[in-house]
Every structure is written in structure tokens, then in C-alpha cells.
A = this chain, B = another copy of it.
Amino acid sequence: MDLQNMVEEVWNSLADQRGAGKVADYIPALAEVDPNCFGIALATRDGRTYCAGDGEVPFSIQSISKVFVLAMALDRHGSALFEAVGREPSGDPFNSIVQLEREKGIPRNPFINAGAIVTTDRLIDDRSTEEAVEELLAALKKMARDDDIRIDKEVAQSESRTGARNRSLAYFMADFDRLLNPVETVLSVYFRQCALTMTCKQLAEAALFLAFDGTDPVTGHVLTSTQRARRINALMLTCGHYDNSGEFAYEVGFCGKSGVGGGILAIVPDKASIAVWAPGLNREGTSLLGARALREIAHRTGWSVFG
């Protein structure tokens, strides 16, 4: 298949729908993004990356960062991490606190906000926040083979200013002694990781190891074990879109993780790592056009993990 042609056709087939959905507006820096942006990047085993539209325009990756932080925290703590956070879909919105009360401060999975806060806490571990953030940035740059990845300070500050719900979740877990570090320490890293700015191309390349058994197929770097890469993919498929995860699995059939900035990272095991970006969101907070683009790619390639 001519993949460059395919991603361009997908882009063209949806170009008319640019602007659909609702751009996140809880942060000025997100609200000001051009709603018509639409980018695709698809990275393959041989080191090639096929882009379309705004595939090389940087945007705020937001919750997609949870995937990379999970991979790093898992490497730091091994499966002991799952004593602090579960592995089950929650059936609830991203910021629900009901389940936390029922299950005594242990979040359902690492991709809802509460679970990601715990994962970030374990990534920090006994280090300074600077050290943790530096490690995250360095890892992303290495995985993406690109030094031009940064944290948008304005976005991070806005996240912190509007972060009442995340503070509520974090203090709730602190009340059950579920965090190693003080709430504000954990959140200072959490808000920065959400403010990571990357392009579709960088994202797709940085996540390529997940599609290929934990090893970057281009450089040969072993980034995580085969087992662990598969398991991260499993979590993306069952939990990557909050209470819209089933729908995404049903309609698209790729492992995926969405961010409120309009990005979606999708992993197709043994085939490709794909990132799409369009700021308009559906009711559950997933990029409307992004999900359609991935469904279209699934349709044209026949790459669904389900057959």
C-alpha cells in the first residue's frame, strides 16, 4: 500500500469537516487554537513517517502524555505500580471521583486523571520535580529523535490555575495515603506533562516502540520489554478514551489515547504508530475529526486489531 497516498486521501476525504466539534476552552491557550487545524502522521518500522495537513505543527498533547509517563513509571517500579493504580476501564468520565471513594483512593486505571496523577507521583518517586521533568523531556526527545520538544509554560500555568478538580482528586488520594509526594509537588509535574507541545510526527515517532515490542525499530533501542509494551497497548485499548473507550475500540479498533488538545495517539501492533490532531472534540473529550481519521485509516488499511 502507498501509505503516503493513503494518509493524504484520508486527510482530503475529511478536510470539509474541519472545525467540527467543540474546542476545549477551559484554558485560554487551548481556546485560541485554530479550530481548522488537522494533521496526520503515520510512522512505520522502516523509519519513514507519512504526514498530511498539519502533521508537523506543534500542539498541546495533554493526556497523551499519560502514555509516556506510564511507560516510564512502569520501568521504574515494575508491576508493583499496579498496587497503586488499577487496570480496569472505569465506565466514568475522565475526572470522576465517585469510583475513588468506593475503592478507597485507588484509581481504576492510569489513564483517568486520578490514575495519571498517581503514575506521575511514582515517576517522581524520591526525586526532585525538576529531575523527573527533565527525564521525561529527555526520553521524549530521544524516542522522537528530535530535540525540538518543549513544555509550554503558559499552558502549564493555566492548567495549575484551573486545576481545582485535579487538586480535589489528588487530595482525595492523599487522604488515603496513596501518594508518595505532597499534592502540589505531584501536580506541578502533572500540569507540566500535560503542557508538552509536540507535533503529530514527533508523537508518532516517539511511540513507535509500542507498536514494535518495546524496541524502537529504527534505532534498535530497547525502550521497554515486549510484555510491557503489549500491556500498555492493552490499557490504551480498554481505557484510553475514558467512558468512550468501548466506542473507540468498536469503531476504530486501534489502541489509542486521546488528549483534550485534540490529539490522538494510536498504536497498531506490528504495523504502525499514528498520531492525528484536530482541536474540535466530541462530548466525551475525544477529537471528533481525529477519531474519524483513524476509523478511515483502519478501514483503508484493514489494520484493526480485531480482524
Contact = CB atoms under 8 A, between A and B. Distances in A.
B168 A164 contact: no
Contacts of A243: 88
A109 B247 CA distance: 11
A245 interface: yes
Contacts of A100: 97
Interface of A: 86-92, 96-102, 108-109, 164-165, 167-172, 174-175, 183, 210-213, 226, 229-231, 233-235, 237-239, 243-247, 249-250, 253, 255, 269-270, 304-307
Q: Count copies of this chain in the complex.
A: 4
Nearest to A82: B250
A307 B229 contact: yes
Contacts of A250: 87, 231, 234-235, 238
Contact of A235 (B169, B172, B229, B246): B246
Contact of A171 (B89, B168, B245): B168
26 contacts: A87-B250, A88-B89, A88-B91, A88-B247, A91-B99, A96-B101, A109-B246, A164-B174, A167-B183, A168-B168, A168-B174, A210-B307, A211-B307, A212-B307, A213-B307, A226-B307, A230-B253, A230-B307, A231-B250, A231-B306, A234-B249, A237-B237, A238-B249, A238-B250, A269-B304, A269-B305
